[in-house]
Amino acid sequence: MQSNQDPGLNNQNTGNTPFHHVADQLLAKNITIDNAFSAMKALVENQHADINGKNNAGLTVLAYLANHDSKCVNIDLYIKMIEDLGANADIKIQHSTSFLFYILRAHPPGSDEMAASLISKNLANPFYEAGIQGFDSSTLKINKIIGFGAYSTVYACDKNLALKKVPGKDKQTNDFKGFGRKLRRFYNEVTIMHELSKNDAPNIIRFHGYEIEKNPLSLNIIMELVLAGSLANAFKDQKKPDWGTLLKLMSDLMTALVFLHDYYKITHNDLKPHNIFLNDFQQLKVGDFDLAYKGKKSGWRGTGGYLAPEVREKGNSPKADIFSATITSADLTRWKLVTEDYFPANLSEEEQADYYKPEEKRPPLAKDCPPGIAKIFGKGWLSDPDKRHCARQMKEAIELERKNYIVVK
């Protein structure tokens, strides 16, 4: 076995050699977990990379080692390497998913507990520093399922709380396919919901804590219970309210966006009736922040039928949120999802994103929709985002229109 100071690779010019090839060399030289850290430090010195690149290099090699030799699976040392290399919270998440990608395939026995341990240790510090509290869901009584999606299931519990569970294993394949994406979304949603809740942002679902459940592995979020459920459910289960109440709900939605966009610089990225909730017909609340982000970010996300026409070329933005919120408000007028009565099925992702580019392609409104409301929508779903109203302008226009109606209390 090579010494810790001279792993046998530090004099070689690894250059742009793929790191899994470097790992093969380490394995051939019998480099194990005990001195892998020194080996990593030495080998990355010859890499033309900044500190983050070197961090990625060393940790990727270690993950590869773990994949080939069960003796190399040492989560405590892995965490120590991340800490010693000065990684921030985002990099920790990247390294966690990389590490899990390798070891969970190679070492399935006990993989749920292993993954939970790694995630908990990687998230404990950034969550603790941000004042984000953990929660023990075993103290809750689960009553019924109130929502579900591709990645998660939401349960109504006692104590006026809801439990969102994201299972570690894929529902269809029963393996860890797509787990890295789930972990990044979980970290994103917890940090954003915590910031919004601690500042008492209006018309936003309240966050109460997070949990890394070990057996089976599940990423859990505990939040405020909204008994009436999502708008999508209300369309099926509730009677359509009067226009005064509908305008109140539209105003609530824009209030949430004013605070998200203007005060917190957060873009939601997936506004639709499934992610908007009613505690009764007097208050609407926005939830599901797993695709949200703070500041500027490239790329586009969202759901067909609610995507702004510019997102595929320019990415998501606050103005794209306004477009999605306007389509959602149009759903309110008809009390029906746009995907049920207007938006075509079986479109490709590109076709879904581009569908609303022609100005004339907009969902119908209810036949009895007042012209004042239709005029407001005209400002919210313009094809040109620069000409589109912002959240504050939309809210002001809706509130002005509300004066023409008696709001049911």
Asked, for residue 6, whether it belongs to a domain, the answer is no
Asked, for residue 396, whether it belongs to a domain, the answer is yes
| Coil, helix or strand at residue 348 | coil
Residue 1 has what pLDDT?
Answer: 31
207 and 107 in a single domain? The answer is no
264 and 352 in a single domain? The answer is yes
Residue 23 has what pLDDT?
Answer: 54
Domain boundary among the residues 177, 209, 224 is at 224
Residue 149 has what pLDDT?
Answer: 79
210 and 236 in a single domain? The answer is no
219 and 355 in a single domain? The answer is no
Pairing of strands 266-267, 218-224: unpaired
Q: CB–CB of 339/330 below 8 Å?
A: no
Asked, for residue 13, whether it belongs to a domain, the answer is no
The angle formed by the CA atoms of residues 152, 156 and 248, to the nearest 5 degrees, is: 95
Domain of 303?
231-402
Q: Taking the model in full, what pTM does it have?
A: 0.79
Residue 377 has what pLDDT?
Answer: 98
Asked, for residue 198, whether it belongs to a domain, the answer is yes
295 and 340 in a single domain? The answer is yes
Residue 47 has what pLDDT?
Answer: 53
Phi, psi for 219 (deg, rounded to 5)? -100, 115
Distance CA 213, CA 137 (A): 9
102 and 152 in a single domain? The answer is no
270 and 285 in a single domain? The answer is yes
Across the chain, which has 409 residues, the per-10-residue mean pLDDT values are 33 42 56 55 55 58 58 58 58 59 54 68 71 92 87 92 90 74 87 94 96 88 91 92 94 98 96 91 89 80 94 93 98 96 92 94 95 96 97 97 73
Q: Which two tokens stand for residue 151?
A: 């990645």
Domain boundary among the residues 224, 252, 274 is at 224
Count of domains forming the chain: 3
95 and 39 in a single domain? The answer is yes
Residue 7 has what pLDDT?
Answer: 33
Asked, for residue 12, whether it belongs to a domain, the answer is no
The angle formed by the CA atoms of residues 57, 62 and 65, to the nearest 5 degrees, is: 130
Which CA distances in Å does 290 have to 182, 294, 320, 352, 355?
A: 9, 12, 17, 21, 24
Helices (H), 33-176: 33-44, 51-68, 75-84, 89-106, 111-129
Residue 207, domain CATH: 3.30.200.20
330 and 389 in a single domain? The answer is yes
Residue 332 has what pLDDT?
Answer: 97
Distance CA 262, CA 79 (A): 37
The angle formed by the CA atoms of residues 72, 73 and 75, to the nearest 5 degrees, is: 125
CB atoms within 10 A of CB 74: 16
Domain boundary among the residues 184, 204, 224 is at 224
90 and 154 in a single domain? The answer is no
Asked, for residue 407, whether it belongs to a domain, the answer is no
208 and 284 in a single domain? The answer is no
